[in-house]
Structure 1
């Protein structure tokens, strides 16, 4: 993850666009990401994390 949030890349959930820097409200964006490429794959990363967390929860419930 990017440490310099003002110069990092973000994925805007409302527009589906990658942004450079803090352009939109925090409610609309996810990130930060180090590269535009990483930010462009934000939804894939979110889906993968969600699936992993669901699997972890199911395993813990046993």
Structure 2
């Protein structure tokens, strides 16, 4: 069973009662993971921002030509 976190209602939802709009985050493997969705997202964003800053600090760049089709 998958779990979802509804950012509007601040409730954990399952596949059976999941909202069908953009207000849900997931899926998560456990109810606890879904309950902590916002803090996990914030932690991930901080980590990715730090990685981006380190990448840019090395003078690394990329452009669309670096991407594969």
TM-score range normalised by the length of the shorter chain = 0.7 to 0.9
Find 1:23's aligned residue among 4, 10, 18.
18
Distance 2:14 2:2 in 1: 6
Find 2:40's aligned residue among 24, 37, 45.
45
Greater relative contact order: 1 or 2 (C-alpha under 8 angstroms, separation 6 or more)? 1
1:57 aligns with 2:52: yes
The runs of at least 4 aligned residues of structure 1 exceeding 6 Å deviation read none
In the superposition, the TM-score normalised over structure 1's length comes to 0.81
Find 2:4's aligned residue among 10, 13, 19.
10
Equivalent pairs, count = 56
1:36 aligns with 2:31: yes
Q: Note the C-alpha offset of 1:41.
A: 0.7
